[in-house]
Amino acid sequence: MSPSLIQILEPLIGSTLTIGHRRGTVIDILEDPPSLVMSSPEAPEEIRLDHLGRPQETSVPSWTVSLFSESGNVLHPDLQRQLHPDLAIRAHDFLNNKD
């Protein structure tokens, strides 16, 4: 059985990367669409409100970054530069061999 995208990229969780001029820590990996969920420890916590506008909890802002470049058919160039070559090749091969 071939490994899933999450299994391939699991070593990235907790890593700090700069992608598209934003620096953050990888906190999760999504398979559909293939992307990384990033968070910045430098960003101030946000207060989340309930449906009535009352403060409920604080959270660190996060954002999602596509694993693909703008062309949509190769691994994002910022990831290519920062990943270990073997990991970059495995991720690229996985993304391009999906049905």
Its pTM stands at 0.78
pLDDT at 98: 64
pLDDT category at 10 given cuts 50, 70, 90 is: very high
> What are the residues whose beta carbons fall under 8 Å from the beta carbon of 43, sequence distance 6 or more?
60, 61
pLDDT at 71: 77
